[in-house]
Amino acid sequence: MSSNRRQFLKSTTTAAVGLSLVATMPIPMSACAGANEKLRCGLIGANGMGFADLTAFLHQKNTECVAICDVDSNVLNRRAADTEKMQGFKPKLYSDYRKLLENKDVDVVIIGTPDHWHCLPMVEACQAGKDVYCEKPLGNSIEEINIMEHTANKYKTVVQVGMWQRSDPHWRAAVDFVQSGKLGKVRTVRTWAYQGWMEPVPVQPDGEAPAGVDYDFWLGPAKKRPFNPNRFHFNFRWFYDYAGGLMTDWGVHIIDYGLFGMGDKAPKSVMAMGGKMAYPFDAAETPDTLQALYEFDGHTLLWDHGTGIDGGYYGRNHGVGYVGNNGTLVVDREGWEVIPEKKKNKDLMERVELQKGNGKGLELHMANFIDGVKTRNRNLNASIEIAANTARVAHLGNIAMRTGRRLYWDAEMSKFINDDEANKFLVPQYRAPWVLPKI
**CATH number, domain containing residue 263:** 3.30.360.10
Query: How many domains, the chain?
Result: 2
Measured over the CA atoms of residue 434, residue 237, residue 158 and residue 106, the dihedral's sign is positive
Model confidence pLDDT, tens digit, residues 181-230: 999 999 999 999 999 999 999 999 999 999 999 999 999 999 999 999 99
Confidence class of residue 37 from pLDDT cuts 50, 70 and 90?
A: confident
CA gap 261, 238 in Å, rounded: 29
Strands 299-307 and 342-343, bridge-based pairing: unpaired
- 100 occurs within a structural domain: yes
Tell which wins on pLDDT, 100 or 29.
Answer: 100
Average pLDDT score over residue span 24-39: 49
Q: Residue 392: which H helix or E strand, with range? A: helix 384-403
Q: Is pLDDT at 31 greater than 60 in this prediction?
A: no
pLDDT of residue 36: 56
Closest CA to 69 of 106, 40, 48, 44: 44
Is the Cβ–Cβ distance between 24 and 370 less than 8 Å? no
Is the Cβ–Cβ distance between 189 and 302 less than 8 Å? yes
- Residue 233, class by beta-carbon neighbours within 10 Å (0-12 exposed, 13-18 middle, 19+ buried)? middle
- Residue 202, class by beta-carbon neighbours within 10 Å (0-12 exposed, 13-18 middle, 19+ buried)? exposed
CA gap 106, 124 in Å, rounded: 13
- Do 352 and 371 sit in the same domain of this protein? no
CA gap 49, 112 in Å, rounded: 6
Is the Cβ–Cβ distance between 249 and 391 less than 8 Å? no
Alpha-helical regions (H) of 270-379: 361-375
Length of the chain in residues, anyone?
439
- Do 292 and 414 sit in the same domain of this protein? yes
- Do 161 and 233 sit in the same domain of this protein? no
CA gap 106, 173 in Å, rounded: 36
- Do 81 and 201 sit in the same domain of this protein? no
- 438 occurs within a structural domain: no
CA gap 322, 234 in Å, rounded: 32
- 434 occurs within a structural domain: no
Residue ranges with strand state E in 217-312: 269-275, 289-296, 299-307
- 432 occurs within a structural domain: no
- 406 occurs within a structural domain: yes
**CB within 8 A of 350, min separation 6: which ones?**
338, 340
Confidence class of residue 420 from pLDDT cuts 50, 70 and 90?
A: very high
CA gap 302, 313 in Å, rounded: 12
Average pLDDT, the chain: 92
What SS3 state is found at 231?
helix
Residue where a domain terminates, one of 342, 371, 388: 388
**CATH number, domain containing residue 152:** 3.40.50.720
- Do 205 and 129 sit in the same domain of this protein? no
Query: Which range of residues forms the domain containing residue 217?
Result: 169-359+390-423
pLDDT of residue 6: 41
Model confidence pLDDT, tens digit, residues 98-108: 999 999 999 99
Q: Return the DSSP state at 179.
A: H
State what percent of residues in the chain have pLDDT above 90. Answer: 91
Q: Is pLDDT at 295 greater than 80 in this prediction?
A: yes
Closest CA to 202 of 139, 316, 281: 281
- Do 292 and 248 sit in the same domain of this protein? yes
Q: Is pLDDT at 384 greater than 70 in this prediction?
A: yes
- Do 206 and 311 sit in the same domain of this protein? yes
Supply φ then ψ for residue 296, to 5 degrees. Answer: -120, 170
Q: Is pLDDT at 171 greater than 90 in this prediction?
A: yes
- Do 127 and 214 sit in the same domain of this protein? no
Q: Which of 24-33, 268-277, 301-310, 354-363 has the lowest mean pLDDT?
A: 24-33
- Do 242 and 93 sit in the same domain of this protein? no
- Do 41 and 91 sit in the same domain of this protein? yes
Is the Cβ–Cβ distance between 141 and 428 less than 8 Å? yes
- 433 occurs within a structural domain: no
Is the Cβ–Cβ distance between 330 and 355 less than 8 Å? no
- 431 occurs within a structural domain: no
- Do 145 and 177 sit in the same domain of this protein? no
Using alpha carbons only, what angle is made at residue 355 by residues 350 and 360, rounded to the nearest 5 degrees?
155
Average pLDDT score over residue span 339-345: 95
What SS3 state is found at 361?
helix
- Do 105 and 173 sit in the same domain of this protein? no
**CB within 8 A of 286, min separation 6: which ones?**
237, 238, 239, 240, 243, 244, 245, 246, 247, 398
CA gap 120, 96 in Å, rounded: 12
Model confidence pLDDT, tens digit, residues 389-416: 999 999 999 999 999 999 999 999 999 9
- 87 occurs within a structural domain: yes
pLDDT of residue 439: 87
Q: Which amino acid is at 359?
A: G
Average pLDDT score over residue span 241-253: 98
Confidence class of residue 29 from pLDDT cuts 50, 70 and 90?
A: very low
